[in-house]
Structure 1
Amino acid sequence: MTRFAASLAQTGRSKGPRYSDAQIDHFIEAHERFVHRLPKGRRAILRYIQAPGHDLSGRVLTGADLTGANLQRARMVLTCLDLASLHFADLRGVEARGATFAAADMRGASLRHADLSGAVLNDADLSEAALARGETTSGFRLIPRPAEDAAGELSFSVDFTGCSMKRAGLANARLTGANFTGALLTGAVLTGADLSGSRFDDAVLTGASMTGLKIDPDALAKCVMDPSERAIRRAGGLLQRLTDAECWIDTNGAQGCPAVLDGEDLRPLGARLSQRRLTALSAERVCAVGVSFAGSQLQGARFDRSDLRDADFTGADLRGASFRGAKLRHASFKDADLRPLPLTNGAAQEVDLGGADHADDAFASSRRN
């Protein structure tokens, strides 16, 4: 335990400043003005503040100093905490669904029973994070693995379901029994972490550093890992199919053919699917996590049952495309064209999102009408 951690344990969080809800809201309003560069703004420096159960939902706390703050059971749905200092903060039981913690300092934070599902923790530092810390220098109090509740369901220590945690630092974290189902851990640093008893079903661990990671033997069996050697070898052939598809468009169908990439791993192609003319592309059941389709012509494309988490469709023409059953969490559709595709018979083909998994606001910045 660091000297700072020992100091917190010895003094206890109960001795931090206490303010009324109205006072806390006043501090936050001043901070939001500070963030937006408005008059009378002031950065929130609320170290060790006592604010358990406070409702911070939707507030902007970018860059706020909440070091050692007691935020137990606080409601932080869709709260922006990018670049905030939550060093050794008590976040046990917080409801932070969809919140953003990009590049936040969360070293040593206590996270037991926190609900961070759908949150964005890209580049956040969770080194030494734990479920709970003792009141003395004796160290951590941890639960050994997920326990079953009265209904027989697994009750996880902290819920990272569907989080975007790209490049997050979890070195030496002690988060046993956590739920990382569907989380994006691309490039995350898990070195020396104790994540035993944790669930990683459908998590993305491409490029993650896992030296010394403590996990259950089969924990990563259902994860999305780095592309296989076979997928890398097939990349050249897939690129040729893209070239043939553009030839088909250039010659009005006289030469070439639409690209069929069904069932392929497209990740080795990187950004080579961006700025392409790929009308009528068939890419069903593909793995395209983090792949860029930015600026491409994808009218009538089929992405049914594909894994498109963290994919980039910025500015793409997706009129009439189909995403039935696709995984679209954390994909970007900024300025994408999702309007109906006019057909030669006078009808129009709508974009099909039936059964797709996406956030409620996934298409807020796209063209729909």
Structure 2
Amino acid sequence: MPSSNRDRAGRTARPQAPEIPSELTEADLPEHDLRDEGVYLALAFGGLDLTDRAVLAAEFEGCTFTHTRLTGSNLRGALLSDVDLKNADLAGVRVRDASLTRATVTGSRLTGSVWSSCTVRDTVFEGCRVDMASFGYSTFKDVVFRDCNLSEVDFQEADIRGVRFEGCNLERARFHHTRAEKARFADCELFGVTGVESLKGISVKTTDAQGLLLALANAMSIEIAD
């Protein structure tokens, strides 16, 4: 569970770090290529090219993905726990009915990725490109997005209650029919967001409020005149 302590910048601390084993086996192809119902334990995937794979119910535990390329892959029913993704390329990845638990995702690209009906828990996304990604019908628990580009992200029908957004660009993000109570936004760009009427019960810093108020006025057809 995340700590309530704050770092020196005044931001809340990250959720519990993944339990990565001290010694990992270096993954190699074709031995560790992705396959249906494959189980991958304590592997360091490194800079492997795993683009355009289509696998069902693969399981990853205690693995690291550093500069790994998963662009365009389809990972339906994947289970990822205690994993660390650093500078990984997940652009265009399609993930459905999957779970991501106790993970750190740092400096990675998730542009245009689709995470549908997934569960994300005890996870930090930091310094990532998540623009134009979709998390429709997914559930988030104890999750932080920090210093991420989330422009045009889609949280339609998602449950983001309690999620923390810190220093993120959320311009033109979509929150239609989103459950968002107790989600917190700090130092974020919120201009042009839609579905703002679903953001009842959130917490937002005063400095962020202008963009949100403009979006609310637009949703209610309120004309703001000089």
TM-score (norm 2): 0.70
Answer yes or no: is 1:71 the counterpart of 2:80.
yes
User: 1:203, 1:224 within 8 Å by CA — same for their partners in 2?
Assistant: no
In 1, Cα distance between the equivalents of 2:146 and 2:45?
29
User: Which ranges in structure 1 are unaligned for 5 or more consecutive residues?
Assistant: 1-15, 33-42, 132-141, 143-156, 230-369
Structure exhibiting the larger radius of gyration computed from Cα positions:
1
Between the two proteins, the alignment pairs up a number of residues equal to: 179
In 1, Cα distance between the equivalents of 2:156 and 2:204?
18
In 2, Cα distance between the equivalents of 1:119 and 1:217?
23
Answer yes or no: is 1:88 the counterpart of 2:97.
yes
* Amino acid aligned to 1:181: E
1:154-165 matches, within 5 Å, as: 157-165=142-150
- Identity %, equivalent residues: 17
User: Which ranges in structure 2 are unaligned for 5 or more consecutive residues?
Assistant: 1-35, 215-226
1:61-210 matches, within 5 Å, as: 61-131=70-140, 157-210=142-195
In 2, Cα distance between the equivalents of 1:25 and 1:182?
30
CA apart distance, 1:24: 9.3
Q: Decide which structure has greater helix share.
A: 1
* Amino acid aligned to 1:18: G
In 2, Cα distance between the equivalents of 1:218 and 1:76?
29
CA apart distance, 1:222: 3.3
The runs of at least 4 consecutive aligned structure 1 residues that moved more than 4 Å come to 20-26
Q: Which has the higher contact order (CA 8 A, sep 6+)?
A: 2
Would the alpha carbon gap of residues 214 and 207 (structure 1) be closer, same or farther in structure 2, given more than 3 Å must change? closer
Which secondary structure does the structure 2 equivalent of 1:56 belong to?
A: strand
Would the alpha carbon gap of residues 201 and 52 (structure 1) be closer, same or farther in structure 2, given more than 3 Å must change? same
User: 2:44, 2:64 within 8 Å by CA — same for their partners in 1?
Assistant: no
In 2, Cα distance between the equivalents of 1:30 and 1:117?
23
User: 2:181, 2:202 within 8 Å by CA — same for their partners in 1?
Assistant: no
In 1, Cα distance between the equivalents of 2:212 and 2:194?
15
Aligned to 2:5: none
CA apart distance, 1:88: 2.4
* Amino acid aligned to 1:209: T
Which secondary structure does the structure 1 equivalent of 2:100 belong to?
A: coil
* Amino acid aligned to 2:193: A
CA apart distance, 1:22: 9.4
TM-score (norm 1): 0.44
In 2, Cα distance between the equivalents of 1:205 and 1:168?
12
Aligned to 1:57: 66
